[in-house]
Amino acid sequence: MNGFEADCRAVLIGSFPHLNHRDAVSLIFDHTPQIPIWPQLPHFREEGMLLQFLPGLPGITEEDGKVFIDSSTEEFETEFLAFFEDYLGVIEGAIELRDSRFALGAKEAPGFELFLDEAERRQADLVALKGQITGPVTFCTGLTDQQGRALFYDEQLRDAAVKLLALKARYMTRKMAEIKKRPLLFFDEPGLAGFGSSAFITITPEDINVCLSEVFESVRQEGGLSGVHVCANTEWPVIFNTGIDVISYDAYSYFDKLILFGDHLIEFLQRGGILATGIVPTTAEFIERETINRLIDAWADQLDQIASLGVEREKVVKQTLITPSCGTGTVTEAQAQRVVEMTRDVSAAIRERFF
């Protein structure tokens, strides 16, 4: 086992609609004190999925409101060499991670420092801490060079981007582990929902495995558990085959797709993998109409289906987290609060029944 007891505890997903980081931190700790997360507020441009983790990469350029990597300038080669010198300096111990370009800055992630401060104050409640970062596939397919080509298709730029994310993830994991050992670090990979489509036809499972394995290893080196969050359907065997610790998925809408890969799911659970089960909806229409009892019934039905594959029900329950299906950055604050409350209440009801 991985030394972490999931036991259907409540965990949230990173984005919130709030305009104030302290308000978001308070909401999180008040409702999910055992495994709190740090909030990302996409209302602020610098907290977008790409921009938030971009600082530190060589060649960052902005023109007409569009941010891209310009590798054609005279300065780029010098910047690129400096990047890898800093990377090797951190890896070899010559540069402190906290003092490097790979540390998460207060400007792009103010919620992270507030989260750490609150976690220090509430240590007695903690089972674990959870962080999140944009995954390498989404990052490298969403960010382009000066010609509009995704970084993923330039091996040199992709390598730099993956290493940037790996060390930023390592930094977050280390900071969380200083407060509570065995933190969780999820890589947000909405881009994987497009895998297998014509837009990604030249990207292979091996390419994805290499990218994810590098960032996962960076988390594990700091004693953390690595997770992947995909808020839609994807080629699930590709994810299972990475050796991931936690799979975070939209169980509300896509459980029927995940269960099709029963052999992979069984193997994942047998080796101690954790399902972060997004049974609480995060689209406005469903937030308003769902009830706690209906969500519990839906989860219980899914549990039965997994157990029918030949996995002990108790094992599945112990290796499950209860989460929203996705972040709440696109709904209202009132709707986000309802999602948080439903996640807490569904988890509490299940835990009362099984624990």
Confidence band for 247, pLDDT divided at 50, 70 and 90? very high
Q: Which residue in 210, 251, 52, 232 sits closest to 132, CA to CA? A: 52
In a domain, 125, yes or no: yes
The DSSP call for residue 217 is H
Are the C-beta atoms of 226 and 185 separated by less than 8 Å? yes
At 167 the pLDDT is: 99
At 260 the pLDDT is: 97
CATH number at residue 215: 3.20.20
What DSSP letter does each residue of 21-82 carry, written as one string?
HHHHHHHHHHH--SS-B--B-TTSGGGSTTGGG-TT-TTEEEETTEEEE--SSTTHHHHHHH
At 119 the pLDDT is: 99
At 343 the pLDDT is: 99
At 197 the pLDDT is: 66
At 273 the pLDDT is: 98
Confidence band for 179, pLDDT divided at 50, 70 and 90? very high
In a domain, 339, yes or no: yes
At 355 the pLDDT is: 87
Mean pLDDT of 34-52: 97
At 196 the pLDDT is: 67
In a domain, 312, yes or no: yes
Q: Is the pLDDT of residue 201 over 60?
A: yes
Inter-residue long-range contacts of 247-250, CB under 8 Å, 24+ positions, other chains counted? 247/273, 247/274, 247/275, 247/276, 248/13, 248/186, 248/276, 248/278, 248/321, 248/323, 249/275, 249/276, 249/277, 249/278, 250/278, 250/325, 250/326
What are the pLDDT digits (tens) for 281-314?
999 999 999 999 999 999 999 999 999 999 999 9
At 348 the pLDDT is: 99
Task: List the structure tokens of 158.
Answer: 């992709």
Q: Which domain holds residue 41?
A: 21-51+109-143+172-354
At 198 the pLDDT is: 63
**Strand order through the sheet with 274-280:** 130-134, 184-188, 225-230, 246-249, 274-280, 320-324
Mean pLDDT of 72-93: 98
Q: Which of 43-47, 197-201, 259-263 has the lowest mean pLDDT?
A: 197-201
In a domain, 253, yes or no: yes
In a domain, 131, yes or no: yes
In a domain, 15, yes or no: no
At 50 the pLDDT is: 97
Residue 208: count of CB within 10 angstroms of its CB? 25
Mean pLDDT of 223-237: 95
Confidence band for 352, pLDDT divided at 50, 70 and 90? very high
Q: Is 202 exposed, middle or buried (0-12, 13-18, 19+ CB in 10 A)?
A: exposed
What are the pLDDT digits (tens) for 28-37?
999 999 999 9
Task: List the structure tokens of 121.
Answer: 């104050």
Q: Is the pLDDT of residue 183 over 60?
A: yes
In a domain, 291, yes or no: yes
Task: List the structure tokens of 352.
Answer: 């009362």
In a domain, 25, yes or no: yes
Confidence band for 200, pLDDT divided at 50, 70 and 90? confident
Domain count, the chain: 1
Are the C-beta atoms of 159 and 106 separated by less than 8 Å? no
Mean pLDDT of the chain: 96
Rounded to an integer, what distance in angstroms lies between the CA atom of residue 88 and that of residue 16?
Answer: 35
